[in-house]
């Protein structure tokens, strides 16, 4: 089969012909239809996340059609459309798994990082970690829900009942989580790179009450700030905008160093926390929600062979919404 492979020698993927994967007892073998490109893919390919699987096939927003199932699979059948998310396996016996926090598992298998992912014609995944996908979305549209949507959803849940939500970095995750927040009756304030009028226009069209650059102050104090831009300098900026008792939630897996800041920014019971991966329950709950909300999902399609162009566009901030690879 055709696959785009990261060999670690340079920050690109290379097209290769590799053997088809084989489904084990608990696995699904799928024909890949689409695979979203996530900023985590960049962190892997740019060397910011260390020790990826050798000769890695990236991609963890994988949409496909099942062509074979393992003997132990009970929840999926050949012909089903299915999603493969970031968390592809957990140990089931560490302290975190046993306490309902499998997203913090000590030895997880991570799709497109320690397990081969979806930048390929075919992929295999443990059925116990795969997700049924909502109807009403094309293959390209549904792909970003598998990480950008799920992680954005968990990030918003970490903000509790906050009503005035600031979102820093208005890309794939942000444009989805903003719609969830607005659906729940919250007020959204969108922060983008300076001069990114397209992202600001998208935020306003989706229902944000205000959109501006990340170095601007919002028109009101925020109850919570959700950070999707991997820029540590934004943490103290967001703290300045959050009211007493508010929270800053960092939604990415990697971020540049956070600069020192005066304690007065944190005082007043303000909090900073991160989001790490997601649980299967997170994924199922979000997919159910995606079947109830009619999301507007903004995607740019790239052929599989042009994965490097898609990665470069994401790296350089040339995208509005999400990039998605198509095998068709």
Q: For residue range 116-128, what is the model confidence (pLDDT) as tens digits? A: 999 999 999 999 9
Instruction: Tell me the CATH number for domain 2-149+277-326.
Output: 3.90.180.10
Taking 90 as the threshold, does the pLDDT of residue 26 lie above it? yes
pLDDT score for 259 = 97
Q: Name the architecture of domain 150-274.
A: 3-Layer(aba) Sandwich (3.40)
Read off the pLDDT band of 195 (50, 70, 90).
confident
DSSP-derived secondary structure letter, 53 = P
Read off the pLDDT band of 70 (50, 70, 90).
very high
Taking 90 as the threshold, does the pLDDT of residue 60 lie above it? yes
pLDDT digits (tens, 9 = 90+) for 165-187: 999 999 999 999 999 999 999 99
Mean model confidence pLDDT for the chain: 96
> What's the CA gap between 45 and 40, in Å, rounded?
9
> What's the CA gap between 62 and 36, in Å, rounded?
7
What does the pLDDT average to over 37-53? Answer: 95
59 CA to centre of own chain: 11
Burial of 280 (0-12, 13-18, 19+ CB in 10 A): middle
pLDDT digits (tens, 9 = 90+) for 208-263: 999 999 999 999 999 999 999 999 999 999 999 999 999 999 999 999 999 999 99
Taking 90 as the threshold, does the pLDDT of residue 83 lie above it? yes
pLDDT digits (tens, 9 = 90+) for 136-159: 999 999 999 999 999 999 999 999
> What's the CA gap between 82 and 91, in Å, rounded?
23
- Percentage above 90 pLDDT, the chain: 98
Instruction: Give the Cα-Cα-Cα angle 26, 30, 31 (nearest 5 degrees).
Output: 170
Taking 90 as the threshold, does the pLDDT of residue 328 lie above it? no
Boundaries of every domain in the chain? 2-149+277-326, 150-274
pTM listed for this prediction: 0.94
């Amino acid at each position: 089969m055709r696959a785009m492979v990261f060999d670690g020698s340079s920050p690109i993927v290379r097209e290769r012909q590799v053997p088809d994967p084989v489904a084990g007892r608990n696995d699904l073998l799928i024909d890949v239809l689409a695979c979203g490109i996530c900023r985590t893919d960049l962190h892997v390919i740019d060397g910011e996340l260390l020790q990826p699987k050798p000769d890695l096939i990236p991609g963890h927003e994988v949409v496909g059609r099942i062509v074979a199932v393992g003997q132990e699979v009970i929840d999926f059948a050949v012909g089903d459309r299915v999603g493969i998310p970031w968390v592809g396996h957990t140990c089931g016996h560490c302290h975190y798994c046993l306490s309902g926090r499998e997203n913090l598992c000590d030895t997880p298998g991570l799709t497109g990082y320690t397990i081969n992912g979806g930048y390929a014609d075919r992929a295999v995944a443990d059925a116990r970690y795969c997700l049924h996908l909502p109807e009403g979305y094309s293959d390209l549209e549904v792909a970003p829900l598998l990480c950008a949507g799920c992680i954005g959803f968990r990030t918003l849940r970490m903000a509790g009942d906050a009503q005035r939500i600031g979102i820093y970095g208005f890309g794939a995750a942000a444009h989805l989580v903003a719609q969830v927040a607005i659906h729940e009756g919250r007020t959204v304030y969108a922060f983008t790179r300076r001069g990114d009028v397209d992202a600001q226009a998208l935020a306003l069209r989706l229902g944000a009450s205000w959109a501006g650059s990340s170095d601007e102050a919002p028109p009101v104090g925020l109850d919570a700030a959700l950070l999707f831009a991997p820029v540590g300098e934004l943490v103290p900026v967001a703290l300045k905008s959050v009211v007493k008792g508010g929270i800053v939630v960092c939604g990415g897996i990697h971020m540049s160093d956070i600069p020192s800041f005066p304690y007065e920014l944190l005082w007043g019971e303000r909090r900073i926390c991160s989001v790490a991966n997601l649980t299967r329950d997170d994924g199922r709950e979000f997919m159910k929600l995606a079947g109830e909300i009619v999301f507007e999902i903004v995607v740019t399609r790239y052929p599989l062979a042009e994965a490097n162009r898609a990665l470069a566009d994401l790296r350089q901030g040339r995208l509005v919404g999400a990039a998605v690879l198509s095998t068709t």
